[in-house]
Amino acid sequence: MNRKQILVTGGAGFIGSHIVDELVARGDDVIVLDNLDAAAHAERPDYLNPGAHYIWEDVSDAVNVRRAVDGAEAVCHQAARVGLGVDFADVTDYVADNDTGTAVLLGELFRSGFDGPLVLASSMVVYGEGQYRCGEHGLLRPGPRDEDRLRQGRYDPVCPRCERPLVPDAINEDAQLDPRNVYAATKLHQEHLCKLFGDETGAHVSLLRYHNVYGPRMPRDTPYAGVASIFRSALAAGRAPQVYEDGGQRRDFVHVRDVAHANVLALGAGARGAFNIASGTPKTVGEMAAALAVAFPGAPGPEVTGAWRTGDVRHVVASPCRAAAVLGFRPQVSFADGMEELAAAPLRTPRTS
């Protein structure tokens, strides 16, 4: 394979650093642009790959982005503020980091004459609630959950036409998008901006919709961490993981090394469009908490709290078939092996924790 100069934004972070490792291992020249955001890093991580060149600046800084994109033959855009955050007051930070940062990057790529490939780290949150099947009315997408039902502990959506129970079904990339929180809205806007860039320049743009990514190098328990990290942090501290609702929420937990490999495949495939990056084997949040707890003898088991969050969804499970057919992506790390590894892996401590 020909050696390429590849820019990875957010390449010191959880997913980005694993992408850097794989690109360096195959012989590429890797430039990393990362601002070491305090929400994710207490200090410069000790896992940074010495084979990459690092620019410690923000993706919203046009001058330094211009320096980073100079000579880039491919770009993997991972830099973003993630998670649900604290509350709506986080909106300006999310828009600045995700929307404005992406706009600055794309503007500098356009000025440099870059024509791809470009890979964007998107998310399954752009779907909102997942897809369901009603025995009488077939496939459908329910609207936002009713808060009165949630207070009564009735967490699963029902058919809006007959009010019968619904069965979760795997969602594909052609489903209508329905972001239901600030983070989701910014990820969808990132997708729109990147697609427009591809339309304007002819660049091959791949939008990778990550499902629930977990594994080594996750940040510790913060409002911006994933649920696997939050549970892992609780267990390591001897606390019971607090499982919302009844623990029956279905998600697709996919290992970070599989996600990193999907990015590398997308960089080489020259593919256009959106792709679910998922394991294809959904689990409930309760099952995930229980699997992690097994690895911490003596720690209290998960506690089901019945609590719920506005803007959260019940079930989102995905079909990874398009990623398999177009990118050649097939996850390799099993849920059991991945959870065992996560239980033993050190987590990063952010400065803002």
Q: Give the residue numbers marked as catalytic.
A: 183
Q: Which two tokens stand for residue 243?
A: 């499982």
Q: Which two tokens stand for residue 34?
A: 């990362």
Question: What kind and span of H or E run contains 54?
Answer: strand 53-55
Q: Is the dihedral of CA 51, 255, 213, 340 positive or negative?
A: negative
Q: Which two tokens stand for residue 128?
A: 């909102």
Compute φ and ψ for 38, nearest 5 degrees.
-60, -20
Q: Which two tokens stand for residue 259?
A: 């996600």
Q: Which residues contact 129 (CB under 8 A, 6 or more apart)?
A: 141, 142, 143, 144, 145, 157, 178, 180, 313, 314, 315, 316
From the list 291, 287, 302, the residue with the least C-alpha distance to 343 is: 291
CA distances from 191 to 87, 146, 273, 340 (A): 23, 29, 10, 33
Q: Distance between CA atoms of 332 and 144, rounded to whole angstroms?
A: 34
Q: Distance between CA atoms of 293 and 231, rounded to whole angstroms?
A: 9
Q: Is the dihedral of CA 77, 78, 79, 83 positive or negative?
A: positive
* Burial class for 240, CB neighbours closer than 10 Å (0-12, 13-18, 19+): middle
From the list 352, 262, 260, the residue with the least C-alpha distance to 36 is: 352
Question: What kind and span of H or E run contains 107?
Answer: helix 101-112
Q: Distance between CA atoms of 79 and 98, rounded to whole angstroms?
A: 8
Question: CA 335, 188, 327, 198: dihedral to nearest 10 degrees?
Answer: -160
